[in-house]
Structure 1
Amino acid sequence: MLSKLDQVRNALLSVTENVGHYEALNQTDKYIVWAEDGEGSSAEGDNYKLEQSIQGTIDYYTKDEDDPNAEGIQTALKAARISFYLNAVQYEDETQYIHFEWVFEVA
């Protein structure tokens, strides 16, 4: 399971070094936080788990409206062959961050 998650961490580190697992590493004007949430799709047969995937979220916070890292995250996930979808983009009034959220799945 951990080797699957290494793929996610390594892909995100190719975009920026400010990548935190579960919590923010450094809350600068641009940072990524990612975490696994649980099991995604799986395949079972003959009372045996044949394949397991892990699902989680990637959150990117930026104060730059035209931040190329948002696209860079998607490009890095594609290059690493990690399944994902963009779940939400929202502006946070209190912090003035633009918050991107992706859901990923690795097998």
Structure 2
Amino acid sequence: MGLPRWNLSNKAERIFRITVLTIVGLILIYEKIYGSSSTQYAAMYLCVFSLVGTFLSNAVQKRYFTSVMEYAQVFRLVALLMMLCFLIIWIYITLESTSQAALVAGIV
């Protein structure tokens, strides 16, 4: 039997890759301009897992991981799950730090 696979078309894979990498690029630009050390770690891990999750496409799996395609698919799913987790962590930390900065600015 095998593990479940995503059978996305090449066009859908390309749109997914462009969307994810655009979001990650915008987060990196935001971190360069407004980031602090607490948010940069979450953004860094988000970038690492997004690269693995987006570039390990079905075509790459079929070409380089023919004998272990099921495990490569699981590796990709875990990378995408970790990417979403770090995106949520980054959003939470960024909102927390901006709300604290707004409170300090309002008090002073």
Q: Shared fold by TM > 0.5? A: no
Choose 1 or 2 for highest CA Rg: 2
1 or 2, which has the higher helix percentage? 2
Name the structure, 1 or 2, with higher relative contact order (CA <8 Å, separation 6+): 2
TM-score (norm 1): 0.23
1 or 2, which has the higher strand percentage? 1
